[in-house]
Structure 1
Amino acid sequence: MASAAQQPEATTQAGVVRGRWRDGSAAFLGIPFAEPPINELRFQAPVPHRPWSGVRDAVEYGPTPQRKTLAEVTLIPEPSIEGESTLNVNVFTPAPGPADDGGLPVLVWIHGGGYVAGSPASPWYDGAAFNRDGVVTVSISYRLGFDGFGWIEDAPANRGMLDWLLALEWVRDNIAAFGGDPARVTISGQSAGGGAVLTLLGSPRAQGLFSRVLSLSGPPTQVAMEASEELGRKLAALAGVAPTVAGLSALSEAEILALQGQLSSVGGSDPTADPLAGLSTMLNEGLTLGPVVDGALIPLSTAEALAAGIGADKELILGTTDNEFNMVLAGAGDALAAVPPAAVLGGLGATPGVIEAYVAAHPGLDTAALVGQFVTDHMFRAPALDLAEIRAAAQAPTWLYRFAWASPAVGGAGHCLDVPFMFDCLGSERIAALAGPQPPQALADEVHASAASFIATGNPGWPQWDDAGQAVRVYDLPTTVVADGYADARALIPERAAQH
């Protein structure tokens, strides 16, 4: 083992940190970018971490905001780590120390988990493969659930987003000390993390903090402030306290988690609930504990912001897996066999015109399979297509992809499947449960290389989406580029369907 003197060090604005060497790169873990969000700071905007003297060890992941995972076994291994100083960054770099040539491109990763769970300490988010290709990689934490996004009468809205912004400011101010170029920052994330980077793309305040965006399965932000306030008041009423900082500060973390589990559209706690009723809530209300259109930090919904030209100077890749949430009705085929698809889709809020067009676009599927695909398309695929078309109208550089490779373990291209391919970490833990015992390394080579090329150059290696070519990269065996690869989801954006 190398001695402390032989381990890599970097000098941040708050003080010196000491990481550890691995094969070909260095890891600096658990560097606090903000003061612990506890006591009087619990429901406030994050405060930059105070300076320290001497050398601070950064060899272990720091405490995480996550206290409870969404399920006993999650698709991505994302550990919870106890402790109070939960706002941290992890930096993986092939060349710590200031660079003579301006530094390496930087990837900043925001984890998913429905904005109520998730952890930056996943082994899947280790930046080793990106370091091998000359990309400094940073993963960040942020406050989750009600602490991060719940409405409180006298507290700032979108506290979790304020955490993202402060973490990105930390990257701007400190990444050069780790060999990175603060002028070449790509923000990326998957699921809620993919939604987070789309939210940042549409936020005026965030524009100077990154130059490119790579969104995997990102749900656009559209929750209204009124809906957020209604949930916040309900939670406070359930607890018997005022919906204020003073009232809610009397509740422990465990009490808040239990209450938000009763109210959130993600991570609910009632195993006996009607799955179709739960689907209807999720589809029509969205991620209720997440970024909120507050008129200030997030002035517009994601679609409205991109249509207004916010972020149009930034390169964007976005896309989804083909079967994100098809598993929501797994095992319900027999129970729904005699139920017409139109009846179920109508119960989920689809209009007759949309139902007719959608059923026609998906021949041969039984009711459970069609409704599962509808959930995927409604939440992920149709919004990705919509945002690509909005960006094309603004002549903003945009690339669209599909991850279509069907895993033998889950029987399709499900949610989270593309993450270990992007990070080129098929040898990591719990991969087989999601991708099978022999996931194709050749596909990981392609997905990862496209991401690395985009981060470094702004070009992932296939044509941009535009109204003429409508090119979509389809990651499968073999990988192809097709025209209008999301055509089967267009029925779910009817206001645009008439244009095609």
Structure 2
Amino acid sequence: MNKIITLFLILLLVNISIAAKRRVVKTYNDPELVFTPKGAIRGIVHDTHRVFYGVPFAKPPINALRWENPVEAKDWRYIKSATQQKPECAQRCNLGDGACSEVGTSEDCLYLDVFTPRNANPESKLPVIVFIPGGAFSVGSGAVPLYDASKFANSSVIFVNTNYRLGVFGFLGTDLLSGNFGFLDQIKALEWVHNNIESFGGDKAQVTIYGQSAGSFSVATHLVSPYSKPYFQAAILSSTPLTIGLKDKSTARGFATRFANKVGCSNVEDIDCLRSKTMDEVLEAQEQVKLQLGDKILDAFTIWSPVVDGDVIPKQPLTAIKDGETHSVPTIIGDVQDEGILFVYLAFKKKVSPLLYPGYLSSMFPLTWGRVLLKYPASGTDARPALARVINDYLFRCSGRYHVNKLVAKQISESSPLVYHYQYNHVKSIGHSFEPCNGHVCHGTELSLFFNSFNMVNEDLEDVEVDLAESLNNYIVNFAKTHNPNQGDLDTPLVWEPVSKSKNRTLVIQDGFELLDKTTVDPKCDLFDSLSYRGYTKNK
């Protein structure tokens, strides 16, 4: 009996000793450790910066939490490892090398990655950038090599990459389901930054939200949502397809009904049936939902997207822009030269006859397609180049110009938040993996330069391009620090003037940098302004 008691005491002491080693001993001397209000985490320390991968900002949205609003993550008692990236949210990623997760996919995906300078501490009060990735609201992840933010961290910025639920998982809208789960995930991530980033050395009162493509559309939507307003003080919007618009409730429910039929649930409101399906079954059914006769062709770009519900999202971003009802913050807005090529040539693998071209225009502009045809005539035997120019201008460039002009018109004094505009025209020396984009500047081409992640995605750029990339990153860092891309610790090659009521200035990025007026005289954009962007900017 005594031997048994002795053995029991020994085992008890061993367990206590192991638990004591795992308990958090609060010290700021170990750069691997950060003590957040939720618990301690251990990251990776590099020579110049630290990275904390896979930090949870909400409970896993699985089982009963599938198609529920994000729920606060639980606190943890012991040190949590943050040394490996987590899977990207459920999807079938088609974005290519460096932009798809190397870890895999999962519904358990509400995590973020935090990059900090090596010596950052709770007293540092460094500016913060939160990046929202794109991918048509159906693919994409912040936890990929393309968005490696080491360069930002090396420049004394805290950088946060986040995930959010995608496709059907994020944007299934019915009479009972809001359709805004993915957007609410983004707000939850911003809330997490607000509540936790000071532990990493960040300043919660100096947060810039930054997005590209659907991520940029998300930023535009945060500029409208009252729920997002407390969590950021500046915004960067890159390649925003504003004209596509978010879904209204009726359209969202139509796509949701088709999905329910494809996945084998007779009633779209039968949440138990929907939750009984595996991730792969949901993704397969999602792929089978296509446009039908009577649908609006622009919905094909984002069948699944946030829903204008009158609450979380009060109105269409473009309508809010028209009405002057967006949050007033310092803003950078820009696009790349050939946004439309990627979308048109992926949709049409073979040549499009010029005889068919007017039909495509009439589907987008039912009553005014002839006016658009005069500005964008097709030539030769293939109408795809002309159609790509229409998509480029109508969805991206001209709606971006409209956004800039409306923000500037809203300025009432010299202290009003400034607006900066850019156009990225640099053709990479390495070419493009998608043949129609060779010699052009396609959608997303600029990201590896803005992030300085070209080595991470195996791009062997020329020295002049490396210098270009560093300057681009410096502009963004300065903006995050001072809300002025020219002011800060980092050198920039040219003073980037803001757009004002008296002077239009665009930073044109090609092999170098040049300031030009690219927006005043523009008959094509004037035409789209007069037609309104899908009716969202029409005066009623």
TM-score where L is the length of structure 1? 0.87
Which runs of structure 2 are paired with 1:61-460 in the superposition (5 Å)?
61-70=85-94, 73=96, 76-79=99-102, 81-83=104-106, 85-95=108-118, 98-100=121-123, 103-220=125-242, 221-238=245-262, 239-244=264-269, 245-263=271-289, 282-283=297-298, 286-330=301-345, 335-336=351-352, 339=355, 342=358, 344-349=360-365, 351-359=368-376, 367-395=383-411, 397-408=418-429, 409=431, 410-431=438-459, 440-460=465-485
- Structure-2 change in CA distance of 1:159 and 1:264 (3 Å): farther
CA distance in 2, matches of 1:311, 1:292: 17
Q: Aligned partners of 2:475, 2:31: CA distance in 1, in Å?
A: 32
Tell me which stretches of 4 or more aligned residues in structure 1 moved more than 6 Å.
Answer: 331-334, 362-366, 436-439
CA distance in 2: counterparts of 1:209 and 1:95, whole angstroms: 25
Map Cα deviations across residues 99-124 of structure 1 (whole Å, 9 max, x no partner).
435x1000101111111111121112
Residues 135-188 of structure 1, C-alpha deviations (whole Å, 9 max, x = no match): 100001111111101113323330011101111111001001101100000001
Of structures 1 and 2, the larger Rg is shown by 2
The residue identity in structure 1 corresponding to 2:110 is L
Task: Please state how far the C-alpha of 1:420 moved relative to its aligned partner.
Answer: 0.9
**What whole-Å deviation, never above 9, does each CA across 1:454-495 have from its counterpart, x for those lacking one?**
111111242222343221111112311111348244432224
SS in 1 for 2:385: helix
Q: Are 1:463 and 2:478 matched, yes or no?
A: no
Distance 2:247 2:311 in 1: 14
In structure 1, what is the Cα distance between the partners aligned to 2:380 and 2:519? 19
1:474 counterpart = 2:496: no
Q: Which whole-Å CA distance do the structure 1 matches of 2:339 and 2:281 have between them?
A: 31
Q: Mean alpha-carbon deviation: is it higher for 235-244 or for 343-352?
A: 343-352
SS at 1:376's partner residue? helix
Contact in 1 for aligned 2:110/2:164 (Cα 8 Å): yes
* Alpha-carbon separation, structure 2, partners of 1:416 and 1:425: 13
Secondary structure, in 3 states, of the residue corresponding to 2:170?
Answer: helix
* Superposed displacement of residue 7, structure 1: 5.2
Q: Is the 8 A contact 1:13 1:174 kept in 2?
A: yes
Task: Report the counterpart of residue 268 of structure 1 in structure 2.
Answer: none
SS at match of 2:169: helix
| Cα distance in 2 for residues equivalent to 1:352 and 1:155 | 37
Q: Structure 1 counterpart of 2:365, which letter? A: G
- Over the residues paired in the alignment, what is the CA RMSD in angstroms? 3.0
SS at match of 1:17: strand
Distance in 1, matches of 2:147 and 2:254, equals: 35
Deviation at 1:296, TM superposition (A): 0.8
**Which residue is equivalent to 1:43?**
67
2:525 matched to 1:493? no
8 Å Cα contact 1:95/1:179 also seen in 2? no
Shift of 1:63: 2.6
Contact conserved, 2:115 with 2:158, CA < 8 A, in 1? yes
Gaps of 5+ in 2: 1-21, 23-28, 412-416, 432-437, 487-495, 534-540
| 1:351-387 deviations in Å (ceiling 9; x for gaps) | 2353145227x99996321111212222211221121
The alpha-carbon distance between structure 1 residues 340 and 64, as it changes in their structure 2 partners (threshold 3 A), is closer
Q: Give the whole-Å Cα distance in 2 for the aligned partners of 1:29 and 1:195.
A: 25
Determine helix, strand or coil for the equivalent of 1:464: coil
**Number of aligned positions between the proteins:** 477
* Structure 1 pair 106–364 and aligned structure 2 pair: CA distance change class (3 A): farther
- 5+ residue gaps, structure 1, are 266-272
Q: 1:68 Cα deviation (Å)? A: 1.6
Conserved 8 A contact 1:95-1:178: no
Which has the larger displacement, 179-188 or 219-228? 219-228
Percent identical residues: 26
Distance 1:485 1:425, change over 3 A: farther
Asked if the contact 1:76/1:416 (under 8 Å) is kept, the reply is no
Give the deviation of 1:207 after TM superposition.
Answer: 0.6
Cα displacement (A) at 1:284: 5.2
